[in-house]
A and B are shown apart, each in its own frame.
Chain A
Amino acid sequence: MDSAPILEVEKLNIHFNTPVGDVHAVRDVSFTMGREKLAIVGESGSGKSQTGRAILGLTPGKVTADKLAFHGQNLLGLDAQQWRAIRGKRIAMVMQDPKYSLNPVMTIGQQLLESARDIKEGAEARHHALGMLASVRIRDPERVFRAWPHELSGGMGQRAMIAMMLMAEPELLIADEPTSALDVTVRLQVLAILDDLVKTRHMGLIFISHDLNLVRTFCDRVLVMYAGQVLEKLTASELEQARHPYTRGLLACPPEIDRRRARLPVLQRDPTWMEPVRS
């Protein structure tokens, strides 16, 4: 395991200026990650997606941080040209829904080639693209290369999108709910592909999810977010031993197949969870 961190985040804050006043969406989030699968979990509105977007400079909010560094390079205050050298090339992002994230008026092949046009060209790029489609276990890469997004199923579209993000062989992949639109079996197959890539390409993966059960079995470490803050950092395999009542509540409330209960426990939200977390 390489010990040099890929990403260092210290006291990341995101503010939104809205008609109803300032919204402090992400508050003092700090973490360091290497070549691992790091999960950020939380409910809608917890700030998990904004945290992921801030790393790529894609949030419309106002971002401040003591440190936001990728392989030691400061990401704060990069200009457009410097961002172009990083976005999509060294850090890539996979979104939740292939229906909305693929360009509907470009074939999958055109989109694959576009995502790597600064790196590879011509026949070499095409060969690389077909290889990428095959690596995400698409059985007929030639057909999918020619296909339009509307001709693909959700699972196939999501795999094509992952292939696209991997064209430039990024060192860090940020995946925002990459599998929640997929059926359970396809979901696991897509995760197996990501898992493979982390292992074979030594990529770092930030996996943003609301599904604690999935994260427990898939990721290495977990950050639990609530109201913009990281409440708890845990090793995924030790999620059951979570101390924070919020994490414990989230783990308890989904219905389980093998443990049926007359009623489901309901999260009792405590106002003190909103108070600044002491690190």
Chain B
Amino acid sequence: MTQPVTQPIIEIENLSISFGHGADRVDAVKNVSFTVAPGESYGLVGESGSGKSTILRALAGLNPYWTGRMSLAGHLLAAKRPRAQRRLAQMVFQDPYGSLHPKHTVDRILSEPLTIHGFDDIETRVRAALDRVGLGPSFRFRYPHQLSGGQRQRVAIARALILEPKVVLLDEPTSALDVSIQAEVLNLLTDLRQQLGLTYVLVSHDLGVVAHMCARLAIMRTGEVVETASADELSEGRLLHAYSRQLLIASRGYDTAAIAAFGDF
């Protein structure tokens, strides 16, 4: 029997994540399920505390305390995962000022994951990775403080891609950047996905960014998915849940009448 070509690369079923115990227990993610096809870009949207980044961190293997079922590229994920599985999904973080080691050069930032995962030809790979994200060889021996926010985020993307992952997890990758730099980084991400056949899961509070980058999305609130939609449904305003509609209205700018009508969710 041949496998159907649309076998999902990411399958998440009844994922729940909580922090704390007893009275302090916070259910950050509650029974979330979704699948992502290979080469797809999937968006997770929501306000702070909605659980969107928590899902991403669990998927990346940064938080082993989850329940439910997650599979990645055909591997069923366990709390502890072997090194080869860790390589499959790599993450790009929100804050390019906090996510790069301030005392490591770009060269060390890029070569360390290669050493850990036993790659050969490290120098060639580091050069290629810089080239791929539009930074020349002159950036190789610079420190993060010598780079602008956009350049740092390019280094973070290069670091994620250097392990040749199948899935890239993007946690608000452009929210700390100016809009002009955001456009450059989003264009780069679009190109890389096409060139390398990558799958993206993109977390953002910005509906515009998600509508631009993703074909499908889930809207989250207090740990739950309130609605899933296609990018077409989002851009045509065909959202069903009152909360998603409010989020959409709020994204369109300042309007006193709309604000007065806001519900408490």
Q: What is A's interface to B at a CB cutoff of 8 Å?
A: 43-44, 154, 183-189, 191-192, 195, 210, 212-214, 216-218, 249-250, 253-267
The reply to whether A210 and B259 form a contact with Cβ atoms under 8 Å apart is no
Contact with A along B132-157 (1 / 0, CB 8 A): 00000000000000000100000000
Binds A, one of B34-42, B103-111, B202-210: B202-210
In the complex with contacts A185-B247, A258-B236, A195-B178 CB distance below 8 A: no
Interface of B, helix, strand, loop or mixed by DSSP: helix
- Chain B, residue nearest A139 (CB): B264
The reply to whether A218 and B253 form a contact with Cβ atoms under 8 Å apart is yes
- Chain A, residue nearest B213 (CB): A255
- Chain B, residue nearest A255 (CB): B212
Residues of A within 8 A of B208 (CB): 254-257
Residues of A within 8 A of B253 (CB): 213-214, 216-218
The reply to whether A264 and B186 form a contact with Cβ atoms under 8 Å apart is yes
The reply to whether A185 and B231 form a contact with Cβ atoms under 8 Å apart is no
A189 to B258, CA, bound (A): 10
The reply to whether A257 and B207 form a contact with Cβ atoms under 8 Å apart is yes
Which of B178, B206, B237, B248 is A210 in contact with, Cβ under 8 Å?
A: B178
15 contacts between A and B (CB under 8 A): A43-B178, A43-B180, A183-B205, A192-B254, A212-B179, A253-B183, A254-B179, A255-B209, A256-B211, A257-B235, A258-B235, A258-B237, A261-B212, A263-B187, A264-B212
Residues of B within 8 A of A267 (CB): 180, 183
Check B33 for interface membership: any CB of A closer than 8 A: no
A249 to B250, CA, bound (A): 24
- Chain A, residue nearest B178 (CB): A43
Residues of A within 8 A of B207 (CB): 257
Which of A183, A260, A265 is B212 in contact with, Cβ under 8 Å?
A: A260
A44 to B177, CA, bound (A): 9
The reply to whether B180 and A260 form a contact with Cβ atoms under 8 Å apart is no
Check B3 for interface membership: any CB of A closer than 8 A: no
Can you name 5 extra interface pairs (CB under 8 A) apart from A43-B180, A195-B254?
Answer: A184-B247, A217-B254, A217-B255, A255-B208, A266-B183
Q: Which residues B208-260 have CB closer than 8 A to chain A? A: 208-209, 211-213, 231, 234-237, 246-248, 250-256, 258-260
Check B112 for interface membership: any CB of A closer than 8 A: no
Residues of B within 8 A of A257 (CB): 207-208, 211, 234-235, 248, 251-252
The reply to whether A184 and B47 form a contact with Cβ atoms under 8 Å apart is yes
